[in-house]
């Protein structure tokens, strides 16, 4: 193998370097094309067969990027450094091989950030990050800024990083998977919403998961801002080492700057001055968790000097995202709600408390080493029954024993039919799975769409 050159991560490491990109999904392809444009010798290695990656084969051929499929050969490790797609865990054989051979590894988020001239707003947390990312993007657009919204929410950051002008902003939803391989990533504004049990199977422990999330502010300086929830059990402790300015949000005032609710009105306090935004009842998104989400977005935008009026307009107009407590229809006095994005126990706990009706819950899927007993109190308070699907059904049934009636269904369509027979007028049927979707569906969106289709297909 050719001798590797020493790598200091940043845009200077790209020209002339030999880079292997692991993974031919959206992020890997966009990163491979970006690095090739900036002078790297790029090789892409993908574990799936080429027949399953027809679009990847087409794009790589068009960009003259050599690639291999159906496994990672020694050629993949003849590189100065490796760029890894966010879906590949540290425990994957290719990642272990890279570590054993001392090959430096960075992620797609990291590489894309090197080429972004605009301030970056990076948003992470166990729950709420997609909503806060979308809402923040809408506020900045309402303020007249050129904005790109990317990352874990949809488009790969590598596709858009170069196109945002310096006077604009890049709003990026950042997952723990992406932060695991962050090296020099430095957002102008970092938003760390909360930290609860999630992805333990991927990171190995809750502590490792928290350390990965904390990388969002690791490279910030006193010129940057870190927005966090003042009452979270874990985030303030992790943020004790932050060098950035802290902006807190919560139920009441918590330092300066901060965001809170006073007399039913979302309020910001900055430099000793309070600014009223909108009454909670006028917000376009409902629920206690969305009050916190709105405050986080408002503080993030104020850190970029956005005036209050665009924030007010957007908080009234924004209606939320698909698959996040999304109303599907009401029939026979029963509301059907699609919360397929509720992939961890804490998001389901929020959902149970937000519906405002007795709930028939549809839950289950692929377990992420979660402690489902955390949901017992919420189920006792809000649930009429639980219908369980997927690989985690047995574990969940044991966790919920004695709290409320449970039943199993062999498919999501069957679960919808059973929920209809159990729900009464004035109830809500809530799909909020507390699990990943990959045992039965492509992703959470596919699961949500299948649920909504099954609901709409019920006989009147």
Question: What's the CA gap between 97 and 252, in Å, rounded?
Answer: 49
Give the C-alpha separation, 82 to 90, whole Å: 13
Q: What is the pLDDT along the chain (460 residues), one digit of tens a residue?
A: 678 889 999 999 999 999 999 999 999 999 999 999 999 999 999 999 999 999 999 999 999 999 999 999 999 999 999 999 888 888 899 999 999 999 999 999 999 999 999 999 999 998 899 999 999 999 999 999 999 999 988 789 999 999 999 999 999 999 998 999 999 999 999 999 999 877 777 788 999 999 999 999 999 999 999 999 999 999 999 999 999 999 999 989 998 999 999 999 999 999 999 999 999 999 999 888 899 999 999 999 999 999 999 999 999 999 988 898 889 999 999 999 999 999 989 889 889 988 889 999 999 999 999 999 999 999 999 999 999 999 999 999 999 999 999 999 999 999 999 999 999 999 999 999 999 999 999 999 999 999 999 999 998 7
79 token code pair: 């590189």
Q: Is 366 helix (H, G, I), strand (E, B) or coil?
A: strand
What are the two backbone dihedrals, phi and then psi, of residue 123, each rounded to the nearest 5 degrees? Answer: -125, 125
What pLDDT, on the 0 to 100 scale, is given for residue 409? 97
- DSSP class of residue 148 equals E
Q: Which pLDDT score, from 0 to 100, does residue 173 have?
A: 96
Q: Are strands 225-229 and 245-249 parallel, antiparallel or unpaired?
A: parallel
What pLDDT does residue 321 have?
Answer: 83
**Rounded Cα–Cα distance for residues 112 and 109 (Å):** 5
Provide the pairing of β-strand 383-389 with 406-408. Answer: parallel
Domains of the chain: 14-103 (3.40.50.720), 110-317 (3.40.1190.10), 326-455 (3.90.190.20)
- Look up residue 243 and give its two tokens: 């060098």
Of 111, 108, 92, which Cα lies nearest the Cα of 28? 108
**What number of other Cβ atoms are within 10 A of residue 307's Cβ?**
11
Residue 248 pairs in a beta bridge with 228, 258
Cis amide leading into 257 (omega within 30): yes
Spatial contact of 286 and 175, defined as CB atoms under 8 Å apart: no
Q: Which residue has the tokens 């699609």?
A: 338
Largest CA distance in the chain: 71
Per-residue model confidence (pLDDT) at position 1 = 65
Cβ proximity of 337 and 325 under 8 Å: yes
Q: Which two tokens stand for residue 240?
A: 């004790």
Q: What's the chain's Rg over C-alpha atoms?
A: 23
Which phi and psi angles does 18 have, rounded to 5°? -95, 115
User: What are the b/e assignments for 272-299, b being 16+ CB within 10 Å?
Assistant: eeebebbebeebebebebbbbbbbbbbb
From residue 103, alpha-carbon distances to 18, 177, 208 in Å are 11, 19, 21
Please return the burial class of 441, using the count of CB atoms within 10 Å of its CB with bins 0-12, 13-18 and 19+.
buried
Residue 458 CA, chain-centre distance (Å), reads 32
Q: Where are the alpha helices (DSSP H) in 66-105?
A: 93-100
Do residues 98 and 281 touch, judged by C-beta distance below 8 A? no
């Amino acid at each position: 193998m050719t001798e590797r050159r020493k790598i200091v991560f940043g845009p200077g490491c790209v020209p002339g370097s030999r880079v292997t990109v692991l993974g031919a999904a959206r992020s890997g392809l966009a990163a491979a094309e970006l690095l090739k444009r900036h002078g790297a010798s790029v090789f892409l290695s993908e574990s799936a067969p080429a027949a399953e990656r027809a679009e990847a084969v087409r794009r790589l051929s068009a960009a003259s990027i050599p690639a291999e499929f159906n496994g990672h050969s020694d050629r993949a490790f003849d590189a100065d450094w490796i760029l890894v797609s966010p879906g590949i865990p540290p425990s994957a054989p290719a990642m272990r091989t890279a570590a054993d051979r001392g090959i430096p590894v960075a992620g797609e988020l990291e590489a894309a950030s090197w080429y972004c001239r605009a301030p970056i707003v990076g948003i992470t947390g166990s729950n709420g990050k997609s909503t806060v990312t979308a809402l923040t993007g809408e506020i900045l657009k309402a303020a007249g800024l050129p904005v790109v919204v990317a990352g874990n929410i949809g488009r790969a950051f590598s596709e858009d990083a170069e196109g945002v002008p310096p006077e604009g902003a890049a709003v990026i939803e950042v997952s723990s998977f992406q932060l695991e391989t962050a090296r020099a990533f430095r957002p102008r504004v970092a938003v760390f919403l909360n930290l609860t049990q999630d992805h333990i199977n991927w990171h190995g422990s809750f502590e490792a998961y928290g350390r990965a999330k904390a990388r969002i502010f690791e490279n910030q300086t006193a010129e940057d801002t870190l927005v966090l929830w003042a009452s979270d059990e874990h985030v303030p402790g992790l943020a004790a080492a932050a060098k950035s300015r802290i902006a807190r949000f919560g139920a009441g005032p918590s330092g300066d700057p901060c965001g809170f609710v006073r007399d039913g009105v979302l309020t910001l306090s900055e430099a000793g001055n309070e600014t009223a935004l909108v009454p909670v009842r006028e917000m376009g998104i409902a629920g206690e968790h969305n009050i916190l989400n709105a405050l986080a977005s408002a503080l993030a935008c104020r850190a970029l000097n956005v005036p209050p009026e665009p924030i007010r307009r957007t908080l009234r107009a924004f209606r939320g995202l698909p698959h996040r407590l999304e109303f599907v229809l009401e029939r026979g006095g029963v509301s059907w709600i699609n919360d397929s994005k509720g992939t961890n126990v804490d998001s389901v706990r929020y959902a149970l408390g937000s519906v405002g009706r007795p709930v028939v819950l549809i839950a289950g899927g692929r377990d992420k080493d979660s402690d489902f007993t955390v949901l017992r109190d919420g189920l006792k308070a809000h649930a009429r029954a639980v219908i369980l699907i997927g690989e985690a059904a047995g574990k969940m049934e044991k966790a919920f024993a004695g709290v409320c009636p449970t039943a199993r269904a062999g498919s999501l369509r069957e679960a919808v039919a059973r929920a209809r027979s159990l729900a009464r007028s004035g109830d809500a049927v809530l799909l909020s799975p507390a699990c990943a979707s990959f045992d039965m569906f492509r992703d959470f969106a596919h699961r949500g769409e299948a649920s909504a289709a099954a609901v709409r297909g019920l006989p009147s």
